[in-house]
Amino acid sequence: MNFDQLNTFISVVETGSFQKTAKTKYVSQRSVSQSMQKLEEELGFELFKRGKNKIIVTDQGQAFFLKTKEMLHSYFVEINSLRHQTTSVHQEFKIGYFSPFEGALMRKQVYAFSKKYPNIKFKITEESIEHLISDVSLGILDMAYILDYGSQEFLTKNLTSKTVFQSTMVIGVSKLNPLSQNNTFPIKALKDKPMLYYSPEKTNYLKHAFLATLPEAYQNIPVARVSTIEQMQTLVTANQANAYYPDGLIQLGSNTESEISYLPLQGNENSQKFKIQSIYPKQSKKCNLIKQFLG
């Protein structure tokens, strides 16, 4: 498996044709077909269903397409960043965040800080909560924004934290659903549809945190991770699922949808409190910079 294969695969999915991809890459259609067949053999599953003069992307192929685009995008962003690194007076500040919700809060702070200190060069990473904790502990990141929700412990002995935001989790419900007209989301309705949460990487942190806040009778409801905000919002909008969100941060970002109502969980508001914590090493060369950034 190589970059040329993956780029060819992306082109085939986007054009819907081996022939069109072959023309754009100035190779034969047979070459494209053989490359995709070899890729399927390496992966161990079908990417396409082949018919007469047409191809259909399989479910596994569609999932692999999304992951491949995300991976290649991250790779080229990183390469481009390395190409433009200089030995100037810029000081690098590496920050991680968990989701676009915390990302919106981070952007406001980055903007305000950059106005005061234009020589700071920011490097930003989106990762799972577990990955962020690990990267800050190892010094790969200078600090990270963590969604502190439920009763789970996340700080290690070498990390400290500061609360930068707090509110409650709310349930997103399609306005096609009559429940969207309520002031609160009935807890019994948790069994009506699958419950979704967002994470850029595979993680059970938010799933376990959410289930732990519920009465015992509801701790086995189906809860599933979604890897893109767009997919989660679409499924909720179509009334195929509900999802849980950090209230207050939805409004900061660009993810508020007129088709979705965000409701507190009935009788469970206190257990749904969360904090956004900035975590960073207790002993760090950049402690003063981090404290200035956080105010």
Both 201 and 249 in a single domain? Answer: yes
What is the token pair recorded at 110? 């980055």
Beta carbons of 96 and 145 less than 8 angstroms apart: yes
284: closest CA among 155, 144, 136?
136
Both 282 and 152 in a single domain? Answer: yes
Token pair 């992307």 in the structure block, residue: 57
| CATH number of the domain enclosing 50 | 1.10.10.10
**Range of the structural domain that residue 283 is part of:** 91-162+276-294
pTM here is 0.65
- Please state, in angstroms and rounded to a whole number, the distance separating the CA atoms of residues 165 and 288: 21
Q: Which of 67, 83, 99 corresponds to the end of one domain?
A: 83
Token pair 């053999």 in the structure block, residue: 41
| CATH number of the domain enclosing 118 | 3.40.190.10
Both 246 and 222 in a single domain? Answer: yes
- Please state, in angstroms and rounded to a whole number, the distance separating the CA atoms of residues 45 and 265: 41
Q: Which of 49, 83, 117 corresponds to the end of one domain?
A: 83
The pLDDT tens digits of the residues spanning 106-150 come to: 999 999 999 988 889 899 998 888 888 888 988 899 999 998 887
How many domains are there within the chain?
Answer: 3
Range of weakest confidence among 13-22, 79-88, 123-132, 224-233 = 79-88
Angle between helices 3-15 and 29-43 (to 10 degrees): 110
CA dihedral 241, 244, 249, 250 (to 10 degrees): 20
Q: Which of 83, 105, 128 corresponds to the end of one domain?
A: 83
Beta carbons of 275 and 200 less than 8 angstroms apart: no
The pLDDT tens digits of the residues spanning 8-30 come to: 999 999 888 898 999 988 889 99
- Which DSSP state fits 28? -
HSE on the CB side for 110, CA within 13 Å? Answer: 20
Token pair 């980055």 in the structure block, residue: 110
The burial class, CB within 10 Å (0-12 / 13-18 / 19+), for 263 is: buried
The pLDDT tens digits of the residues spanning 254-272 come to: 444 589 999 999 987 678 9
